[in-house]
Structure 1
Amino acid sequence: MQAAAQASPAQPEAFPYAAPAWLPGGNLQTIWAALCADRAAGAPPQYRRVRWDTPDGDFVDLDWLEAPDRPSTAGGPLLVLFHGLEGSSRSHYAEAFAGFAREQGLAFVVPHFRGCSGELNLGPRAYHSGDFEEVHWMLQRLRERHAGPLLAAGVSLGGNALLRWAGEAGTEAARLADAVAAVCSPLDLAAGGSAIGRGFNRLVYTTMFLRTMRPKALRKLAQHPGLFDRDALLAARDLYEFDNVFTAPLHGFRNTDDYWARASAKPHLARIRIPALALNACNDPFVPAHSLPLPGGVGDWVTLWQPRQGGHVGFPAGRWPTHVRSMPQAVGRWLLQAAGCRAPGGGAG
């Protein structure tokens, strides 16, 4: 593993992304990538599920990439992907990262946040954007079982939680991870929450998220009667109101404003002491460009990639119907190079 040092290593070249001309704007680039673009080259990735018991009597499920055509990855790099809000190992970006890992001969795993693996978790909690204690526990367990380099990427919510962990851990982060990356993460949660609660975003994206979040919350209430106000939850019409009733109080925050302020990674980026990448498209409908971190405010260990286009975890590329492999390839190679790794099946990062 990389030891803490006084200055960051030389950083790889930025991601030179340009969207196809027929996909203008952040909304089209977001929606098309999620619904229509090709993911991993070849067959969809196959996973092997492993369940871990948590210290508080709950469980989490991890999906490990099955790659029978590859030699053993023992001792080689392990790529860990933390998914986004209501995501899973079958999200378009997760399958694209799995495809990159398969091509490069990397071990690959998606740890699911609680309640996101298809089975409701047991405890009176779920997951949230600043869940750095959970990220720490997962990385620690993975480090105990993997001796080679450990690279971690997080998408959207998962990326904010990952960078929040790296900032909180400081120099201690190098014991568990060699390099980290956040993709399209709302590092300023208040700005992101405000953006997703307005206009088209509220109509489309907020509705999409609440369609799965509200029923899961009601099932959680059935598990733990009295956990929150059912009528207030049913009345919630945006993520601010949902977080005020459910996410914030269940995870120790006073309210949504307290949650968004304390969970945001942006104020902690300068404390990071391992190689870290923050990739954000400037036309992301969820993450306003004005809220993105500036080079002078992140410290020497953090690299910022802020292409003009890409949408929210979109970055569709290539000919019709496009694919979403360019972003995972760029981020994965950055992680390999920043950590000084060589991929077993794909040469240098």
Structure 2
Amino acid sequence: MPLTDNIYKPPLLFGNGHIQTIFPMIFRKIALVCYKRERISTPDNDFLDLDWSTAGNKRLAIISHGLEGSTQRAYVRGMVKAVNDNGWDALAWNYRSCSGEPNLKLRSYHNGVTDDLSLVINHAGQKGLYKEITLLGFSLGGNLTLLYLGREKPDPLIKKAVVFSVPCDLKASVKTLSKPVNRLYMKRFLLMLHRKIKDKMQVMPGMIDDKGYDKIKDFKAFDDRYTAPIHGFKDAYDYWEKCSSKPFIPDIHVPTLIINALNDPFLPESCFPVKEAATNRHVTLCMPGSGGHVGFISFNKKKLYWSEKQAVKFLNNQY
């Protein structure tokens, strides 16, 4: 599919990738989104919390959030409002331990939990209410979405997908996040993950601990100690290799739009899958010069961010 930048112009003084990344996290507020929560059981006797925003439409958008996010993040709520206003029901789901309550099992979530995503999709499809489902994903959720589409056998109801700020080469992205310029992001992620570890220590004492956690300074150390062994990977490198979506992009057969900003502070060059997109007629890669990581700030009367406008266009065959 042809590559495109689709011309995103950031507001004056908002062209810097770090500003684009941080500003929405702190200042963006989304009103008029009312969720109805549903808890579903997993095959391993755990649970997932799903947040629905519906209006009786026959089309559904399933939204997957980023690392240490939730359905309450502004970028999720903004997308929910955008699709609701354009004829789509929305289902935003929380990964295990991301809904405000620790999950019941030692396992948690990571870049490759396609089994949980598949469970959510199947649950929505079995309701018999929808003729079409679209997948939307941000950052980790974008990688997870691409991995599901390329590695698994997607549900026939899945007709389109749009993903943003995708670290499709996990090893390279981790290396970029470990750079001094990204130290604040890394410290914030590790602090939030530490809280999850502490919560899990209360739920299952003796099965997990945080002794020496202060020595963990990057995702390599965290994934070696927690993510990999808990989820059946040999080590961090094994986890990153098996859960990077980039090698599976050529195998995607659902119309898919990937939007990665060139000034995204989390994404190195290898996270822009130019070759993979160019050889797959089902995949469109959009690489605007600006946008940051899950940023794409816009100021307008409808309070829609540029990313939300692009998603709606793609979903409604106007792209």
TM over 0.5: yes
Contact 2:133-2:157 within 8 A present in 1 as well: yes
Give the structure 2 partner of residue 17 of structure 1.
8
Give the secondary-structure state (helix, strand or coil) at the position aligned to 1:180: strand
Q: In the alignment, is residue 57 of structure 1 matched against residue 48 of structure 2?
A: no
Measured in 2, the distance between the counterparts of 1:134 and 1:102 equals 24
- Deviations 1:4-26 (CA, angstroms, capped at 9, x unpaired): xxxx8xx8986321112312321
| Residue 286 (structure 1) aligned to one of 260, 266, 276 | 266
The offset of 1:229, in angstroms, is: 5.1
Q: The residue matched to 1:173 in structure 2 has which SS?
A: coil
CA distance in 2, matches of 1:217, 1:185: 25
| 1:155 equivalenced with 2:155 (yes/no) | no
Q: Unpaired runs of 5+ in structure 1?
A: 1-7, 338-347
- 2:129 equivalent to 1:120: no
Of 108-117 and 129-138, more deviation after overlay is shown by 129-138
Contact 1:52 1:61 in 2 (8 A): yes
1:344 alignment partner in structure 2: none
- The 2-side partners of 1:44 and 1:195 are apart by 37
Equivalences for residues 29-108 of structure 1 within 5 A: 29-37=20-28, 40=30, 43-65=31-53, 72-73=56-57, 76-108=58-90
Size of the aligned set, in residue pairs, is 317
What secondary structure is seen at the aligned counterpart in 1 of 2:85?
helix
When residues 220 and 176 of structure 1 are mapped into structure 2, their CA distance, relative to the original with a 3 A threshold, is: farther
CA contact (8 A) 2:68 2:193 kept: yes
Which of 236, 253, 260 is the equivalent residue of 1:256? 236
Deviation digits for residues 254-307 of structure 1, max 9, x if unmatched? 111111111000011001111111110011001113431014555221110111
Q: 1:316 aligns with which of 297, 306, 316?
A: 297
CA offsets 1:12-45 (integer angstroms, 9 cap, x no match): 98632111231232101111122224x54xx331
TM-score norm. by structure 1 comes to: 0.85
1:28 aligns with 2:19: yes
Q: What amino acid maps onto 1:106 in structure 2?
A: W
Query: Where has structure 1 moved over 6 Å in runs of 4 or more?
Result: none
The 1-side partners of 2:3 and 2:86 are apart by 18
1:222-270 CA distances to partner (integer Å, 9 max, x unpaired)? 3334434532434212222111111111111111111111100001100
Work out the CA distance in 1 between the residues paired with 2:8 and 2:130: 34
Please say if 1:247 is aligned against 2:259: no
Q: 1:196 matched to which residue of 2?
A: 177
Root mean square deviation of aligned Cα: 2.3
Deviation (angstroms), 1:333: 2.0
Name the amino acid aligned to 1:29.
Answer: Q
What amino acid is the match of 1:329? K
Per the normalisation by structure 2, the TM-score is: 0.92
Residue 318 of structure 1 deviates from its aligned partner by 2.5
The equivalent residue for 1:183 is 164
Structure 2 SS opposite 1:230: coil
Shift of 1:48: 0.7
Q: How does 1:263-282 map to 2 (within 5 A)?
A: 263-282=243-262
Identity %: 31
Amino acid at match of 2:132: P
The offset of 1:190, in angstroms, is 0.7
* 1:189 Cα deviation after fit: 0.5
Change (3 A) 1:296 1:268: closer
Amino acid corresponding to residue 251 of structure 1 in structure 2: H
Tell me which amino acid in the other structure corresponds to 2:16: G
Give 3-state SS (helix, strand or coil) of 1:133's partner: helix
